[in-house]
Chains A and B, each alone.
Chain A
């Protein structure tokens, strides 16, 4: 799960006496738009996050990078705001804005002093339906995205390998495709593709607006209704069909030699369920706790065994998010100590994974992992951005964020040593793994 953030409001109730004065309100406008308002008074600041349920997983073959390209274009002018004016209008009011695209969603945020909240709502409403997609802006922004791909992926041997690794591990699942798109497909995108995408997904019934900060909820609700209620719903939304957790009966392997790399890198992934998969939802918490015990921090098993006890590696981690719309990869990663044979390191890493299925973790390890997760959640509550992110990330998968907030500590604490053993035995099996190796 989101290491830095999940869970909280009640976390705080359970953990300590004082509670945060967080008052919230959830609305569903008649046009289908979902709205969550949370009052948090620490500073005179407010953040709006506009989440659209569209990401690279919804893209069709040959059109990779379309959602991300559109994200860039969302700053390039509407019927009322000229190109390049968007960020200037916000900066002039002392605000900051940005956006991000993932496989699952596209999210836009604006953060500014509480008394300017109307500006943020007006601008978000304006670009939800009023985007002017122009050839001139598109041409130049497409060049920017190509540079973005060069800097993020093409110039980095680790990222180049990871792109291939995802292809190998995800197979025919849309998560196999790069969010930013392949260079050839970015270059081939047209203004028409963007228009289709925009008209298909940028509608109130495909959006969640989250507002967190110091504000009056009645007043904010009034503004939200004023700007968003008049917008018409889109009748025919279509999202990627979610694929079932795949069965995999033999391990897959990718080995990449790249002369740009100075030190080998080893990664492995297992297909695992997430919170959004109702049938397996109960496994998300054990997987989260398991990832901490196995490979999060200096006292995790991987760090202790691989680095301190056996001297095989200089880094070793495990990772799980649990937030994806579809299933995702539970990952292991490591860098060998210079001179150590990768085969030997790999063998040792898999021994640690097998041990989780063979014997139960100790009570102290389990408690330590749960304490750590819950403490991290309290720390995350110190940031309105992270509160908003968590709500949006849940809502965009049509999950009830409230239940998640209120039940988080209880659900984490409910994970038993048997649960961990069970999910390890079920998902982290040798035949279900995909290994990726990068070496010089």
Chain B
């Protein structure tokens, strides 16, 4: 029983947003980059403290590139990634991985397909052999694909039990309309069953190519060894660029919509969302600070103070933004007993209004900036975190000085900046609101539940 919930979103975001900055000069001195013959960019963070290596690989080709009637192609392509390659069928392939204690798997996100691999340094050769084969000679056997479809469909059916899942499913189309970010990354039972192995093969070939691929490696391996491994095992990688176009910017400024889903539960799940900002938006740092003030992690945000600490209305309440290639979503989520849903909604609305109307106090701003800058060594204190963060810095072209510059850019955010970005993003009438519970909450003043 945790006093606070570790939401995966929160964790991911903290890595993403304030994540990348690590003040370790010693770490940074050891960062080296090179390109493979096929044009993949490799970054090495050498560290010999533990006899292990973490690898993270990012390529364009996430769910935003799924055919519109087959949501889940990228997701299923990722799922098939460790289901056998070359001479080894799925069972033999995975048995080899487990025998050597290697973990190798892929996952789909909205913009990207991402591969993670963890191995002991004594089994680097085995690990890179499996990785190279998976990239260039995947088996994609029908029997494994059919099993994958069965499992994913069952998993999606099971998820329907969760109010948070259902709220998320309803919210994204409200925020994004026809934009590709509206589609669920892991599809739905109907779309998954429409996907064919030919779709998977096509997507795999389109996505896993040298140009644009970012390979971040952290741990117990030297530059020479890594160069040698990539030369031998990634030689067959396609050197021609893929055809994925840039993701269009979602339309902002639409009026929000309210939607209620009836489920027989003791609580109402509230999920609010609007179109946020892209990864390279000039307001990125102001947004980071604003989000931390409003509903960032820890128990110090305004939403937590108002809804949890002052009134005991919820166990957790968070705001989060996901900066992507296109404009990612900005969301607020919480759960509260049925009778309190209206009160919680109106309190959220008050906090949003407050941030747009009044400048944040000097002391509050200073504390939040101290937290954001002071906590960054915590975000990079493991090889997994280092590989993960550097893969994103390079993929999103944040520059190798990103970590150096991050604290000063956060410190440069002013009261005016926070108010500007609040007015830009937190405009009440643009929020979409999804509620899941026994009854649709109403506000005392007769307003619609849209804040």
| Chain A residues with a Cβ under 8 A of chain B | 12, 15-18, 20-21, 41-45, 68, 71-72, 75, 84, 87-88, 91-96, 98-102, 111-113, 139-148, 150-152, 154-158, 179-180, 260-263, 297-299, 304, 307-308, 314-315, 335, 337-338, 364, 367-368, 371-372, 374-376, 378-379, 381-384
Whole-angstrom CA separation of A156 from B40 in the bound complex: 45
Of chain B, the residue at the smallest CB distance from A108 is: B3
Q: Is the CB of A147 within 8 A of B50?
A: no
* A144-B312, A147-B336, A299-B91 given; A155·B383 CB < 8 A: no
B308, closest chain A residue (CB): A144
Question: Across the interface, which residues of A come within 8 angstroms of B161, CB to CB?
Answer: 156-158, 260-262
Contact B49 A378 (CB under 8 A): no
Tell me the B residues contacting A by CB distance below 8 Å.
1-4, 22-24, 47-52, 91, 94-95, 98-102, 118-122, 147, 150-151, 153-155, 157-158, 160-163, 220, 263-267, 297-300, 305, 308-316, 335-337, 367, 370-378, 380-384
- The answer on a CB contact under 8 Å between B311 and A42 is no
Provide the bound-state CA to CA distance between A111 and B375, in Å: 9
Q: Is the CB of A87 within 8 A of B300?
A: yes
Contacts A95-B374, A144-B315, A378-B120 supplied; 17 other A-B pairs, CB < 8 Å: A43-B382, A44-B24, A44-B377, A94-B371, A94-B377, A140-B311, A150-B266, A155-B267, A298-B94, A298-B98, A314-B155, A337-B154, A367-B99, A368-B95, A378-B52, A382-B383, A383-B381
Number of interchain pairs (Cβ within 8 Å): 214
A297 to B95, CA, bound (A): 10
> Nearest Cβ in chain B — how far from A13, in angstroms?
10
B96 to chain A, nearest CB (A): 9
A407 to B120, CA, bound (A): 19
Contact of A93 among B121, B374, B376 (CB under 8 A): B374
Q: Specify the chain B residue showing the minimal Cβ separation from A309.
A: B91
Min Cβ gap A317→B in Å is 13
A276 to chain B, nearest CB (A): 21
Most chain-B CB neighbours within 10 Å: which of A147, A376, A379? A147
Is the Cβ of A139 less than 8 Å from the Cβ of B1? Answer: no
Q: How far is the CA of A148 from the CA of B121 in the complex (A)?
A: 42
What residues of A have a CB within 8 angstroms of the CB of B382 in the complex?
42-43, 382-383
| A150 near B337: Cβ-Cβ < 8 Å | yes
> A376 touching B101 by the CB < 8 A rule?
yes
Q: Which residues of A contact B23 (CB under 8 A)?
A: 44
Q: Is the pair B91, A20 in contact by a Cβ cutoff of 8 Å? A: no
Give chain B residues whose Cβ lies under 8 Å from the Cβ of A157: 161
Contact of A91 among B4, B49, B315, B367 (CB under 8 A): B367
For the complex, give the distance between the alpha carbons of A338 and B337 in Å.
33
Q: A96-B378, A297-B98 are in contact. Are A263 and B298 (CB under 8 A)?
A: no
Partner of B367, one of A88, A378, A383: A88
Q: Which residues of the partner chain B approach A376 to less than 8 Å between Cβ atoms?
A: 101
Q: Cβ of B335: which chain A residues have Cβ within 8 Å of it?
A: 147, 150-151, 155
Residues of A within 8 A of B264 (CB): 260
In the complex, are the beta carbons of B371 and A91 less than 8 A apart? yes
